[in-house]
Structure 1
Amino acid sequence: MVNPNNSPHSTENVSVVDDKNLMTIAQYLKDGQSGHKRSIPPLEQWHPKHCGTMDLKVKANGEWWHEGQLIKRQALIDLFSTVLWKEQNKFYLKTPVEQIEIEVEDEPLFVNQVDQIQIEAKTYLQLTTTTQDIVIVDQEHPIFMRNYSNKDGKDELRPYVHVRFGINALIQRSAFFHLIEMGKLLEDAQGETILSLQSGDFNLQLGT
């Protein structure tokens, strides 16, 4: 359990939050939601104390593990995803009363669906995550490519979209193939293939 006398900035005796606290957070979040509608709380308005770390890991393949056990309940993952917070390149679960550090191998959100929608006679790209976040691609939510070092130590170029609070979502392979079908493949001056995407008035050029 967390020792309330420990300084949140101390590097000694890092507190580890136990399973009871994990379920306490889950129950707190359930109680705070109205009806069945999923919503993102105003995390930027909350300033809780840091309460150590939790043995919770989001793997690069999208799996969530707690104390060495795979979390199979999607509803629980969906719930925790609403309070994901990123601060100084570290990831947390954040409530009004506590901020608990977790481990994320790459990014904690994952896009598995891509659609084109019409808004005021303009066509936009809409991305949906496995945890039911809906992101319309624009200047504040751009798609971009970034290198990720896999478990073999090799770099691979991966596509992402910015979602919220500095947190991005990895665009899964099948979803990215749909994006390619919606865009245009061009060739730059160096002979490299470029994916051109249009979302409303926003144009992206992605090196693939």
Structure 2
Amino acid sequence: MAYDVPPDLAGLSLAEIAELVAARKLPPVDQWNPEATSDSRMRIAEGGTWYHDGSPITRPGMVRAFASLLRRDADGSHWLVTPHYRQSIEVEDAAFMAVDMKAEGGALTFRLNTDEFVVAGPDHPLRAAGDPDAPAIYLAVRHGSEARLDRSTWLQLAEHALAEGDGLEVTSQGATFSLAPA
């Protein structure tokens, strides 16, 4: 089946983004709790590149398929989950990378390295980590997993914060998030 890359984030309205988000059907990995487990021999590097047995996974469709099965437990461990089996996966920093951002209509929308869109808000909060001189901003994606904003997306968010106020907070869908690490 052919994969249609979503249109450029800048050219989409908030309503169009909401339609694309609603149309994405993901497996209910949060409802699956299989007993059988093993090591997937996979890892997601700090920059968002997926590896299997030390070699990068170069097919974007494979990465998207695996990403749809990803779940992070409360203890921080990541799993690829199916109804009958779960495999551990090493995640060096965050499972996803946010690679673009758009502010429109009181909402901040992020495009992930898997071509998915996530709208920050109460269900997808932003959090600041690191230290004030080198902060890292993370976006909750799904099933406990997060996306780290890449450098250019972090700069887009910082420019938006400065344009909207004092630069230390942003608001999306009525929720306010600090950009200063605690």
What is aligned with 1:166? 144
Task: Report the identity percentage.
Answer: 26
What is aligned with 2:174? 201
Equivalences for residues 109-188 of structure 1 within 5 A:
109-118=96-105, 123-147=106-130, 156-184=134-162, 186=166
The structure whose residues are more often helix, as a share, is: 2
What is aligned with 1:102? 89
What is aligned with 1:80? 66
Scaled by the length of structure 1, what TM-score is found? Answer: 0.68
2:35 is the alignment partner of 1:52: no
Structure 2 counterpart of 1:59, which letter? A
CA shift for structure 1 position 39: 2.5
Structure 2 gaps of 5+ residues are 1-22
* CA displacement 1:69-104 (0-9 Å, x = unmatched): 111111110110000011232111001110001111
The structure whose residues are more often strand, as a share, is: 1
Equivalences for residues 15-54 of structure 1 within 5 A:
38-54=24-40
CA shift for structure 1 position 143: 1.0
User: Residues 129 and 168 (structure 1 numbering): CA distance in 2 closer, same or farther, change over 3 Å?
Assistant: same
Which structure is richer in relative contact order (CA contacts within 8 A, separation 6 or more)?
Answer: 2
CA shift for structure 1 position 38: 4.7
C-alpha distance in 1 between matches for 2:135 and 2:157: 16
Structure 2 counterpart of 1:197, which letter? V
Structure 2 counterpart of 1:204, which letter? F
For residue 207 of structure 1, give the secondary structure of its aligned residue in structure 2.
coil
For residue 30 of structure 2, give the secondary structure of its aligned residue in structure 1.
helix
C-alpha distance in 2 between matches for 1:51 and 1:198: 40
CA contact (8 A) 1:145 1:158 kept: yes
Scaled by the length of structure 2, what TM-score is found? Answer: 0.78
C-alpha distance in 1 between matches for 2:32 and 2:98: 27
Q: Over aligned residue pairs, what C-alpha RMSD do you find?
A: 2.0
Equivalences for residues 5-24 of structure 1 within 5 A:
none
CA contact (8 A) 2:96 2:147 kept: yes
CA contact (8 A) 1:39 1:82 kept: no
C-alpha distance in 2 between matches for 1:200 and 1:45: 27
